[in-house]
């Protein structure tokens, strides 16, 4: 079982285990680990909420108001399975990434935005002592143009509500869960541009994966070819 660690330095004793260390602040050599650079956007939650919202793009603020006017509501106690089911049903990839086992200082929290009994957006967060990190998000996949547009409003409204919620819980930062750099992938560029619309600052972290994970992936490929 994959073990996930966040905001802590790797332990060289874990090189033979399926271990991943995420959001490590410093880059250095750790025996038995591979490292990759990772960028994200952090919103400082120690600011006044009015100042945070002023950093949103003006169209974001307008769409959030429209969601409120349409009686959009946020559910703050959502079962993880409910988020996974919504994600898999509405995402073209149809398969939510498997969650690793967390260390005791972290927890997963799911939030939904709904209106008139319909869920339009769902977010999954990793919550630490100091941050709320967006792990996955999804909006309602529909052919109806008005519903599709409203789902976009609800997604921004959910970000806004989550920022307020985690700020009230005393978290220091709202982490938008990664942005793409030096890429020509139009989808990744679009996601990055969307996240930048909430303001905040780009922060650089590092992700370390144990050699055991690399070997495990190679074994899976070999077994797949044999079959």
Q: What is the CATH number of the domain that holds 167?
A: 3.40.630.30
Q: What percent of the chain has pLDDT over 70?
A: 93
Total number of domains constituting the chain: 1
Please report the pLDDT score of residue 97 as a whole number.
Answer: 57
Query: Which range marks the domain in which residue 72 is found?
Result: 3-226
pLDDT reading at 227 higher than 70:
no
pTM of the predicted model, to two decimals?
0.89
The mean pLDDT of 2-23, rounded to a whole number, is 92
pLDDT reading at 141 higher than 70:
yes
Strand ranges inside the chain, DSSP E: 3-6, 19-24, 33-44, 73-78, 101-102, 107-115, 118-127, 131-139, 173-175, 201-210
Chain segment 38-65, per-residue pLDDT in tens:
999 999 999 999 999 999 999 999 999 9
pLDDT reading at 225 higher than 80:
no
Q: What percent of the chain has pLDDT over 90?
A: 78
Closest CA to 195 of 55, 76, 70, 95: 55
Highest mean pLDDT (candidates 19-23, 110-114, 180-184): 110-114
DSSP string computed for 66-106: HHHHTT-EEEEEE-HHHHHHHHHHHSTT--PPPPPEEPTT-
């Amino acid at each position: 079982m994959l073990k996930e660690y966040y905001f802590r330095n790797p332990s060289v004793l874990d090189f033979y285990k399926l271990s991943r260390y995420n959001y490590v602040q410093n880059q250095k050599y750790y025996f038995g680990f591979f490292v990759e650079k990772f960028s994200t956007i952090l919103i400082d939650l120690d600011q006044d909420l009015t100042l945070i919202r002023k950093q949103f793009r003006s169209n974001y603020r307008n769409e959030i108001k429209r969601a409120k006017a349409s009686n959009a509501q946020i559910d703050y106690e959502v079962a993880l399975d409910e988020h996974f089911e919504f994600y898999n049903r509405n995402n073209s990839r149809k398969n939510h990434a498997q969650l690793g086992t967390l260390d005791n200082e972290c927890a997963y929290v799911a939030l939904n935005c709904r209106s008139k009994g319909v869920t339009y957006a769902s977010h999954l967060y990793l919550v630490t002592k100091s941050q709320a990190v967006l792990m996955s998000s999804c909006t309602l996949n529909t052919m109806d143009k008005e519903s599709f547009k409203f789902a976009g409003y609800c997604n921004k409204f959910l970000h806004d509500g989550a920022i307020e919620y985690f700020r009230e819980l005393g978290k220091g930062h709202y982490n938008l869960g990664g942005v793409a750099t030096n890429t020509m992938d139009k989808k990744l560029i679009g996601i990055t541009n969307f996240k930048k619309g909430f303001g905040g600052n780009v922060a650089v972290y590092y992700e370390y994966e144990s050699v055991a994970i690399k070997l495990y992936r190679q074994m899976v490929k070999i077994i797949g070819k044999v079959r």
